[in-house]
Structure 1
Amino acid sequence: MPNPAPAPGPLSSPATAGVVSSPASSDAARDKQPRAILLMCLVAFVFAVQDGLSRHLGAAYSPMFVVMLRYWFMAAFVIILALRKPGGLRAAARSKRPVLQILRGVLLITETLLIVTAFVRLGLINTHAVFACSPLIVVALSGRLLGEKIGWRRWVAVGVGFIGILIVLKPTSGVFAADSLIPFLAAAMFGIYSLLTRMVSLEDPSGVSFFWTGIAGAVTSTAIGIAWIEPIHLYDVPLLLALCALGALSHFLLIKAYEMAEASSLQPFAYTQLVWVSFIGVLLLGETLAPNVAVGATIVVGAGLFTWWRTLQKSRQG
């Protein structure tokens, strides 16, 4: 599952319009591009392992409890990062859009809870096959929320992508359940979160957004999850620690990847998470990759890659 990012993430475009790079800086960026791509692929793998652990632990404990522990660790991580930088906590918390920052955190923690619940009820593979439509939701909402002009080609891609979702869900098969809508709702929330990230990035630096994501998420998850606290079995402690550590590692690697290359150039490689998820689901969790899920997910990812390509083309023309 995509996690809180310090800057506009794989599903959103960086605010780089109007920035003119010198030839030397352009050459340096090109030299770092291969390493950034490798880092993004590694991030996708770490996310997949993290999601596999979330599915396993979410079946043994309340998903809200598991998510709350993750965000406690996340809050500690962003606080440590803030203390290591000039200005400390005061600089990290200094936002020009605090209401939107808090709303981002609340949306993300809600989305995380939904996605972990979907992992338990639907499985890792089926959940990610639906959640892959999140970039398409970003495109569909960006016109209304950000005033961006969406051409007919991207609207067609959005429509094709949602046909892929219907293929995954098979609503006419007689086995369609309300649980199938959980990952779609999570994808919609993450899409809105991504758009809000674009909005706050116009006035707040990435470190501030990252700080507010962790803190707002920890406060919200504690308010909801404190009632779900339960004893942890000793043999699950290493798995919980690994889940929290992987969460911190994935954020750190994501920061480094975005320091080396623009988010828009790394977006296609974020889809490798779906490949890793499929391997983990089939080989370690006993899930099956149904033909309709494979076909539908391929259509969704293809539509997402096309919208990314068109967005990149439009930005170059502008």
Structure 2
Amino acid sequence: MSTTIAPIEERRLLGIGLVLCAYFLFTCLDSSAKWLGLVGLPALQIMFARYVIHLGIVSAINLPRQGADLWRTRNLKIEILRSGALIGSTLCNFTAVRYLPLTVTGAITFTTPLIICVLSVFLLREQVGWRRWTAIVVGFVGVLIIVRPGSDTFHPATLLSLAGAVSYGLYALLTRKLAGVDSVATQQFYGAVLPTIALLPFAFVVWQWPDGLLQWLVLIGTGVIGFTSHQFITMAHRFAPASTLAPFAYVQIVFIAIISWLIFQQPPDLWFYLGAPVVILSGFYLWLRERQLAKPLTPVAEEG
């Protein structure tokens, strides 16, 4: 059964609106994972719920239309590697947010364009000039300003957050390699079914029943939010080019700061205000440089 692909339309304001909604939802996803962890639910259980619900939604929407075409892939190896990178990113991030303010994990996530640039040298054999290497170094200096290793406020979970950003950078590169190989629906399916299968035995070992309706709603909401945010990202790129949408990823830092302050009573500190602009400007410079070279980076999106 052939899959109907929606045509590209020139509706940039709609695309920008959708991508802003997606980044707000990504922030809500991390906030939900942090809250569920603080009330005592294990990270593996939260991850399992996030992916099994995502899988249910993807299957319900696409199976009636596509049937077996949904799981037919032209490159199963990359789909598996991509899903593995996604599991690593989610596990590191969902664990790190238990111990760190969202502002810290969010700022570290914005190193993703820098990490993609570094990984592309080793995995894609791309050439990176001195200007981009300088931007990468400056960006990581910004992270050091925020986390201040060696200080009393430094927490080892910072390393987990950085590992999550590296995993997500690998996920983004593998997604790039699947462009034009598998449909978005097929990628969404494998991005949900493989983590569900991998997490199933661990989830039942650590499973704790949510206490009350609110915990159930937030747990179920992780899967709904995860699916919806990725759909918004996909739809946004139908209506506006990636070069238009990429800079709006940095608006997410505003969402992160507001939610961290209002819900978790963890307002940004002085070091965040000093370091976050350094990270963001470094990533923004990389975007401008890649645009000049006509090789745009994969936009940042905090995956959970």
CA contact (8 A) 1:164 1:300 kept: yes
Note closer, same or farther for the CA distance 1:207–1:216 as it changes in structure 2 (3 Å cut): same
* Aligned-partner SS, 2:264: coil
* Equivalent residue in structure 1 for 2:218, among 217, 230, 239: 239
* Equivalent residue in structure 1 for 2:149, among 148, 166, 171: 171
**Contiguous gaps of at least 5 residues in structure 1:** 1-24
- Once the two structures are TM-superposed, the CA of residue 261 in structure 1 deviates from its matched residue by 2.2
CA contact (8 A) 2:53 2:220 kept: no
Q: Aligned AA for 2:48?
A: M
- Once the two structures are TM-superposed, the CA of residue 39 in structure 1 deviates from its matched residue by 0.8
Q: Confirm or deny that 1:190 pairs with 2:168.
A: yes
- Once the two structures are TM-superposed, the CA of residue 137 in structure 1 deviates from its matched residue by 0.1
- 2-structure distance, mates of 1:164, 1:196: 27
Say how many residue pairs are matched.
288
Query: Percent identity over the alignment?
Result: 29
**Cα-to-partner distance string for 1:173-199 (whole Å, 9 max, x where unaligned):** 254332221110000000011111111
After superposition, residues 277-296 of structure 1 pair within 5 angstroms as 277-296=256-275
State the match for 1:4 in structure 2.
none
- Once the two structures are TM-superposed, the CA of residue 168 in structure 1 deviates from its matched residue by 1.0
- Once the two structures are TM-superposed, the CA of residue 53 in structure 1 deviates from its matched residue by 1.3
Q: Confirm or deny that 1:69 pairs with 2:23.
A: no
State the match for 1:300 in structure 2.
279
State the match for 2:233 in structure 1.
254
- 1-structure distance, mates of 2:199, 2:188: 16
Tell me the TM-score normalized by structure 1: 0.85
- Once the two structures are TM-superposed, the CA of residue 115 in structure 1 deviates from its matched residue by 0.5
Spell out structure 1 runs of 4+ moving beyond 6 A: none
Aligned Cα root-mean-square deviation (Å): 1.9
- Once the two structures are TM-superposed, the CA of residue 242 in structure 1 deviates from its matched residue by 2.8
* Equivalent residue in structure 2 for 1:47, among 17, 23, 26: 26
- 1-structure distance, mates of 2:195, 2:241: 26
* Aligned-partner SS, 1:284: helix
* Aligned-partner SS, 1:271: helix
Q: Aligned AA for 1:287?
A: Q
**Cα-to-partner distance string for 1:130-184 (whole Å, 9 max, x where unaligned):** 1211111001111221122222211111111011011111114254332221110
- 2-structure distance, mates of 1:301, 1:266: 15
- 2-structure distance, mates of 1:59, 1:250: 23
* Equivalent residue in structure 2 for 1:104, among 49, 74, 82: 82
- Once the two structures are TM-superposed, the CA of residue 311 in structure 1 deviates from its matched residue by 0.7
* Aligned-partner SS, 2:11: helix
- 2-structure distance, mates of 1:222, 1:168: 36
- Once the two structures are TM-superposed, the CA of residue 264 in structure 1 deviates from its matched residue by 3.6
- Once the two structures are TM-superposed, the CA of residue 251 in structure 1 deviates from its matched residue by 2.2
State the match for 2:300 in structure 1.
none
CA contact (8 A) 1:55 1:116 kept: yes
- 2-structure distance, mates of 1:261, 1:226: 42
CA contact (8 A) 2:96 2:161 kept: yes
**Contiguous gaps of at least 5 residues in structure 2:** 1-6, 297-304
Note closer, same or farther for the CA distance 1:179–1:83 as it changes in structure 2 (3 Å cut): same
Note closer, same or farther for the CA distance 1:166–1:81 as it changes in structure 2 (3 Å cut): same
State the match for 2:248 in structure 1.
269
Tell me the TM-score normalized by structure 2: 0.89
CA contact (8 A) 2:49 2:222 kept: no
CA contact (8 A) 1:128 1:274 kept: yes
Q: Aligned AA for 1:179?
A: A
CA contact (8 A) 1:55 1:123 kept: no
